[in-house]
Amino acid sequence: MTLHNVLIIDDEPDIRELLEITLGRMQLHTRAVGTVSEAKRLLENTHFDLCLTDMRLPDGDGIDLVDHMQIHHPNLPVAVITAYGSVESAVQALKSGAFDFVSKPVDLHNLRRLVSTALKLSQSPPEDAGTQAQQADPHGLLGHTPAMQRLNETILKLARSQAPVYILGESGSGKERVAREIHRRGPRQGHPFVPVNCGAIPAELMESEFFGHIKGSFTGATADKQGLFQAAQGGTLLLDEVAELPLHMQVKLLRAIQERAIKPIGAAHEIPLDVRILSASHKDLAVEVQAGRFRQDLFYRLNVIELRVPALRERQEDIPLLATHILNRLADHWDTPAKHLTSAAIQALMAHDYPGNVRELENLLERAATLTESNTIQVADLRLPHTTDTEHPDPSSSPQRPLTQHLEQQERQTITLALAQAGGNPTLAARHLGLTARQLRHRLGRLGLKHH
């Protein structure tokens, strides 16, 4: 059995003793100090699996220490201990990269929960975002463009935190998929992921849906009902389309997040919460706040970290890879051979604007795969608006472009298609193209197609 080391930093001897006794009963080895300088000296020579630090210390504060950890010990989870009701300090710590926070007076149940969750991070070393992006993971995010590489790298960082994340993106861009990835790659992955569409619940039923109710608490309450927060206990709750919450529900949600507890309708006592909150919307919450439709204090708590999901038109080079993946998934679902796109069909897909993003691409391909009678999908099968049959284009109707620009576009599309057909494997794609791996890397760099 591996003995985990926990570093405790607090200038109050009574708090240090309380934390050491509590963690000792959890079979953890602790080292306790009272200053930032002592903590930094220990960190230079000792491996720790978790750090608990007070916010106010004689020679610095917890935020400075969190910043130091992000630079020198980025894989060490840091939890801060804040004064009761000090929401601003807790939010600032989370923004700086703290794993989580606990308020004084320290609730030992919440402390043990926090420690148990944080230590799961040390049991699984951080993954490399580039390596992850290459794996044929049916649940992962596909894409090799710079926008998707940045998104994957950010997801890996956010997965190692408990900070609330607000996911902003257009409809159909994959906000729920991003939320699932944050959950799946984090220490809560073995617990429920519960998505809820806030715009799909009638206003009069919201409180019961979110918090549950007790039998007999109102007309029609014929049995106890577990709410969505309880269903997500230990895991992650995604508040999708959170901008659609009515104001009266925003007040109740804010209290649940601040107090980390809920009270079912008709219940006599509150239920402690151990849930990570993620939220998403295609609307800009900052604009909704300015318009008076969303509470600023709730926005402040949900938007600790903002994560923007790129629209599909911002990563068009990913379309061949996505299209191949979607067609293979359809073939598995239908138990039929996978259908393939012609080069002209791929070109047409890459030229489309996609107001509905990835969801629109999925619908286009499912319709085309359903209606075509052959195993090859032509441009006409896609039924894209404002497209003509480019399988055999009329040269007189083609726009005049410099030859080098035309050849570069053709080369880009050919390489992108080869990578998609090779499942993102550059070595296999190079072989299909009759190139060496080094030659392919050179061309990828010249064309701006970054690929690990």
Phi-psi region of 372 (alpha: psi -120 to 50; beta: other; left: phi over 0): beta
Instruction: For residues 80-92, give the mean pLDDT.
Output: 79
Maximum Cα interatomic distance, the chain, rounded to a whole number of Å:
85
Q: How many residues does the chain have?
A: 452
Query: Are the beta carbons of 357 and 170 closer than 8 angstroms?
Result: yes
Q: What CATH architecture does domain 313-447 belong to?
A: Orthogonal Bundle (1.10)
Residue 443 CA from chain centroid, whole number:
32
The confidence band for 320, taking pLDDT boundaries of 50, 70 and 90, is: very high
Helices assigned H by DSSP within 62-174: 62-72, 87-96, 108-123, 129-134, 146-159
- With vertex at residue 75, the alpha carbon angle to CA 71 and CA 78, rounded to the nearest 5 degrees, is 85
| Residues of each domain in the chain carrying CATH 3.40.50.300 | 143-310
pLDDT at 443 over 80: no
Which pLDDT does position 390 carry in this prediction? 47
User: Which comes out higher in pLDDT, residue 299 or 83?
Assistant: 299
Inter-CA distances, 137 with 40, 75, 133, 179, 199, Å: 39, 24, 8, 16, 31
Burial of 277 (0-12, 13-18, 19+ CB in 10 A): buried
* Cα 136 from chain centre: 18
Average confidence (pLDDT) over 230-236: 95
Crossing angle of helices 319-334 and 357-371, rounded to 10°: 50
Q: Is the pLDDT of residue 406 over 60?
A: no
| 398 Rama class: left (phi>0) / alpha (psi -120 to 50) / beta | beta
What are the CA-CA distances from residue 384 to residues 170, 348, 353 (Å)? 20, 8, 10
Tokens of 283: 């609307």
From-to residues of CATH 1.10.8.60 in the chain: 313-447
What CATH number labels 5-123? 3.40.50.2300
* Mean pLDDT of the 209-237 span: 89
Instruction: Tell me what the mean pLDDT of segment 232-238 comes to.
Output: 95
Q: What pLDDT is stored for residue 89 in this prediction?
A: 81
Q: Mean pLDDT over all residues of the chain?
A: 85
Q: Which CATH class is domain 143-310?
A: alpha beta
Which structure tokens are listed for 418?
């080869």
Report the alpha-carbon distance of residue 278 to residue 372 in Å, rounded: 40
